Chain A
Amino acid sequence: MDIKSTGSRKKLRSKLSIYNDVVVGHVFAAPFILGFVCFSLIPIWMSLFYSFTDYSLGKKEAIFVGLKNFAMLYNDEIFAKSIYITLKYVLISVPLKLIFALFVAVILTRKSRMVAIYRSVYYLPSLIGGSVAVALVWRQLFARKGLFNVILEGIGMDRINWFGDEKMALYPLIFMAIWQFGSSMIIFAAGLKEIPMTYYQAAAIEGANGAKKFFYITLPYLSPIILYNLVMQTISAFLTFTQVFVITGGGPNNGTMLYALNVYNQAFKYDKMGYACAMSWVMLILMTLITLVIFKSSRFWVIDDSEA
C-alpha cells in the first residue's frame, strides 16, 4: 500500500470521526434538524397536498379534486366573513396595542425605584392573558350584568348586549388584545434604554420640548423595534384562537369567526381536512403578503442605526 492511499484513508477517517466539526455540529443540531423535518417540512408538504384533495379522518384515502377546495372557498360566505372579521380585528387591535405599549414605555422611563415595579404591573395582563382562566373572566366582565355594563349604566348610558349583538361581539376581544400590550412595552423599554442620553441633552440645549424630542429622537431611534413589534404582533393577532374559542366560540351569527377558529372548526368539528388545509394555505399566503407589505413599507419609515 502506498503512502498516498493511507493518507486519503486517514483523511476519510478523520472526516467520519465523531470529533470532526461537521459531525459534531450535526450531532448537536440533530434535535432541531429532526424536528424541523418531521414537524415543519413534512407537515407543510402534506398540507399543500391535502389542500388539493377531499380528505377526512374517516376516509382511507384522499381523493384528488384539483382546485375544487379553493373554488369552494371563493363561494363560502362564512370564509369571506371570517377574513373580513380577522382583518378588522388585526387592523384595530395591533396599532392601538403598539401605541399603548410605546406610550407606557415612554412614561415609565423615569429614574425611580418604583418604575420596575410599575412596569411589571402593566406587564402582568400580557403574561396571563393567553390563559383560559382570564378568557373566562373576560366573558364574565362583558356579560349582560357584567362589570362593563355596570360602568356604562353608572355614567348614564344604556347597557350593551356585547355577546348577543353581532356588531358588538368583536370589541371585547379587541379590547382584550389591546389590554395585553405588556410584552411589546417591555421590548420598547429595552430599546429606549439604548438611546444615548446625549441626544436628549443636545436637543434640550437647542430648546426642544418634550413632544419634539419624542418625534425627532425617540420615534426614529425606535423605528426598527416598532417594525419588529408590528410584524410579531400582526402574526400573533392573525393566529388568535384560545380567547375567541373560549369567550364567544365564533358567535353570534359568526360575528367573531376569526380565521384560526374557522380553520379549527372546518378541520376538527366538520372533519373537512382537505378543505381546512386549503384554508390554512390561503392564510399563509395572506399573512406572507401582509408581512411583505410591512417590510417593503419599512423603507420609508424605519431609520437604520447606521444612518441615525
Chain B
Amino acid sequence: MAEKKIFRKILYHTYVVLTGFIMIYPVLWMISGSFKDNSEILRGTLSLFPSVVKKGNYATGWKGFGGITFATFFMNSLVVASISTLGTVISSSLVAYSFSRIRFMGRKFWFTCMIATMMLPSQVIMIPQYLIYYRLHLVPGYVPLILPCFCGQAFFIYQMMQFMQGIPRELDEVAKIDGCSKYGIYSRIILPLLKPAVVTTVIIQFYWTWDDYMGPLLYLSRPQSYTASIAIKLFADSGSSTDFGAMLAMSTLSLVPVFLIFLFFNKHLVEGIGTTGLKG
C-alpha cells in the first residue's frame, strides 16, 4: 500500500515536471539561442545546449542600430515604465480611498463608470485618443504613454478597494476623534497599511508598461526615443540578414526585469491575480 502510494507520487511529480518543462521550453530555447551561432539557430535544433558557445551575441546586439545602442532603448523603457507605475500607484490609491471610505453623492455613479472602463475595448478609444494627442502636438512624445496612468487604472483601483475592505474602520474612527481629517486618514493610516496592495500594483503595472508594444508603436517615431520592445522588433526586421543570435540576446535581456519580478515577487503576482482576477 505504502509502496503504491509512493509510486503514484513519483508518477505525479514526473508528469507535472515534464509538462512544465515543455511549457517553458520556448523560454529556455530563447535563452540558449542567445548563445548560439546564427547558422545553428537557422538549421533548426531542439538542443538547449549550443554546440559552440558564442558569447559575442550580446555585444553585437547591444550595438543596436543607426548608431543608437540598446542602453538608450532600455533606459527609455525604464523611464516610461517607472513614471507610469508611480502615477498609477498614486492615482489609483487616491481613487480607491474615495470609493471605499467616503460616502459621497455620486460615488455609486463614478464607481459604475470605473467598472465600465474595465470592459471597454481599448481599440475603440485608441484612434480618437491618438487624434486628440495629435491635435495637441503631443505626438510623437512620451506624454500619451504616461499621462493616462496618472488618472487611475480600473483594475488596480478595484484591487486596492478590496484590500481596504480589510483595514478596520475603527482605525478611521479613532483618527477622526483625534482630529484627523479625511486627508490625514488617507496619508497616515490607509496608505501605510496599503503597502501589500501597492507592491502588487507596482510589479504588475511595471511589467505591463515595460512590455507594452502598441503604445510606443503609435506614439514614438524618433529612434532615440524608442523603448526596448519597439527596438527589438525593428532589430529583428532590419536588413536582409537578421542576426538571430543577437536578436535572441536582446530579447532575453528585455525579459530580465520580468524574470526578476517573477523570481522575487511571485507570491504577490499570484495573489494579485487570484484575488482580483487581474489579467496576466
Contacts and interface: CB of A to CB of B under 8 A. Distances in A.
Do A and B actually bind?
yes
Contacts of B26: 125, 134, 137-138, 141, 179
Task: Please give me the 9 A-B residue pairs with the lowest Cβ-Cβ distance, nearest first.
Answer: A35-B151, A25-B104, A183-B280, A28-B98, A190-B274, A133-B251, A145-B44, A46-B128, A43-B128
Contact of B151 (A31, A107, A122, A134): A31
B142 interface: no
17 contacts: A22-B105, A22-B106, A28-B102, A30-B94, A31-B91, A31-B151, A34-B151, A46-B132, A124-B27, A125-B27, A133-B251, A136-B248, A143-B44, A145-B42, A260-B123, A277-B127, A287-B121
B151 A39 contact: yes
Nearest to B107: A25
Interface string B197-228: 00000000001000101100110000000000
Given A24-B183, A133-B252, A242-B214, A122 B23 contact: yes
B103 A21 contact: yes
B211 A267 contact: no
A239 interface: yes
B46 interface: yes
Interface in B118-135: 119-132, 134
B181 interface: yes
Contacts, number: 266
Interface residues of A, number: 92
A35 B152 contact: yes
B258 A131 contact: yes
B112 to A, nearest CB: 11
A235 B121 contact: yes
Contacts of B46: 147, 150-151
Interface string A52-72: 000001000000000000000
Contacts of B121: 235, 238-239, 280, 283-284, 287
A56 to B, nearest CB: 10
A135 to B, nearest CB: 8
Given A25-B106, A28-B186, A47 B124 contact: yes
Given A118-B20, A150-B46, A241-B214, A35 B127 contact: no
Contact of A44 (B124, B151, B182, B250): B124
Contacts of B106: 22, 25-26
A183 B185 CA distance: 35
B277 interface: yes
Contacts of A29: 94-95, 98-99, 107, 110
A128 B248 CA distance: 15
B85 interface: no
B255 A232 contact: no
Interface in A232-246: 232, 235-236, 238-239, 241-242, 245-246
A127 B263 CA distance: 12
Nearest to B227: A132
B273 A47 contact: no
B95 A39 contact: no
Nearest to B144: A39
A283 B106 CA distance: 31
A154 B84 CA distance: 47
A33 B104 CA distance: 14
A60 B105 CA distance: 42
A287 B103 CA distance: 34
Contacts of B24: 121, 124-125
A82 interface: no
A120 B274 CA distance: 12
B232 A145 contact: no
Contacts of A242: 213-214
A217 B183 CA distance: 47
Contacts of A40: 113, 117, 120, 125
A127 B123 contact: no
Nearest to B275: A190
B111 to A, nearest CB: 9
Interface string A220-233: 00000000110010
B131 A239 contact: no
